[in-house]
Structure 1
């Protein structure tokens, strides 16, 4: 079983630096530069989602990040043969398996592990053998957590989108119910020996309740930090998130 950790790790997702670059084409803004700023600002890792349609992060970005980072790289990807081959070539510190649909703007929900257990177990086995810590992005649901444990994932990332949406839209009773469910399922996943990360839609207003859960080891945040950076700079946006997380854990 993973021991409780005092300092919460912050992973910074740089996908939407690439989104901005790709909106016009060319080389700027450069995701690798953003990753280096994030490192200096206190990020404990960098997350990048290589989608099948390459809508933001591209193959060259993964190449540059894998070769240059001094903090761990977390590669988010779909459970496809193409993505498995890329991960096995670069062997990032961590691989997070996520559901992916071409038409979605962002990842809309957790992976259905319980109904696809056999395929996913065989899919992640070579990644584990290559030394990657395998994370599964799932709903905060006992059935999915148990399935992730059975296929020998090391980490579950619990989808926080419903909690964040309820907060942002002022549906406070629903927000509190979602937060209670996240709290209960974080404790359950930890009891199985899984490392627990929450993620999706978290911002300055919603991060602290999750960060206060003693079972939580790492939080990965991207879109909000990149958006806030337009107004205050990427260094400042990350440092403020780091401050709020530390305060919640203290």
Structure 2
């Protein structure tokens, strides 16, 4: 089945809004795993507006599944990842002022830059993934960087699916087929939800992992986190 990694950034946002330690991020990570989640994803940003750098160190000791750290590989981020040594690092080209990730890498333009960074992470035993738009040329460029996986940026798929246009999955299917031919692993994330993840999973071959945060947390407010996580796991079983 496709694995579910739960992004807990929104839990940190809620905690930070009151300045205390409620909800407790470490306890939430433990609960996500107890409920069946197969990974924990965090995306620390330089301003620490949700996940704090200290959170990443605190979580390392309790994540018994897969720890995935996302972010723009500025030096502070690289230093953090190399100290924590998660199972996976996902490189995302987000600007500091961006509310959320909104584009994938130009893997052709930034090939040499990515190649150098990826080489350092891989030499430290950390699996690498890079965030890419659903463009086969970007997938082809990704293989030249030496990355282990790509993460398909799924916002456009989610937008089209919400309009009833199921053909919106076709570029992702093509990219996945390209990635398989090139020997790249395939992850996906951004705006995936209970309403659209099953169709995506069934139509995108070789999908190893999805990272879901915003929708999952919002759905959990109404239905409960344990129930929602198990709904995702049921939908992701192939």
What TM-score range do you get, normalising by the shorter chain?
Answer: over 0.9
Task: Give 1:214 deviation, angstroms.
Answer: 3.1
Instruction: Tell me the TM-score normalised to structure 2 length.
Output: 0.96
Q: Secondary structure at the match of 2:42?
A: strand
Two-structure CA RMSD over aligned residues (Å)? 1.2
Determine the structure 1 residue equivalent to 2:64: 70
Structure 1: which 5+ runs fail to align?
A: 1-6
* Matching residue within 1, 12, 16 for 2:6: 12
Determine the structure 1 residue equivalent to 2:189: 199
Task: Give 1:69 deviation, angstroms.
Answer: 1.4
Q: Is the 8 A contact 1:189 1:195 kept in 2?
A: yes
Task: Give 1:97 deviation, angstroms.
Answer: 0.2
Q: Distance in 2 between matches of 1:90 and 1:113?
A: 26
What are the Cα deviations for residues 107-146 of structure 1, in whole angstroms up to 9, with x where unaligned?
1111222111111111121100000000001101112111
Instruction: Tell me the TM-score normalised to structure 1 length.
Output: 0.91
What are the Cα deviations for residues 29-52 of structure 1, in whole angstroms up to 9, with x where unaligned?
122111111111111111000111
Q: Secondary structure at the match of 2:207?
A: coil
Q: Distance in 2 between matches of 1:153 and 1:142?
A: 15
Does the alignment pair 1:81 with 2:75? yes
User: Runs ≥4 in structure 1, deviation > 4 angstroms?
Assistant: none
* Matching residue within 35, 38, 51 for 2:45: 51
- Give aligned pairs, total: 237
* Matching residue within 197, 211, 231 for 2:201: 211
Q: Distance in 2 between matches of 1:142 and 1:184?
A: 7
Task: Give 1:161 deviation, angstroms.
Answer: 0.2
What are the Cα deviations for residues 189-232 of structure 1, in whole angstroms up to 9, with x where unaligned?
11100000121100111101221133111111111111111112
Task: Give 1:152 deviation, angstroms.
Answer: 0.5
Q: Distance in 1 between matches of 2:214 and 2:105?
A: 20
Q: Distance in 1 between matches of 2:131 and 2:2?
A: 19
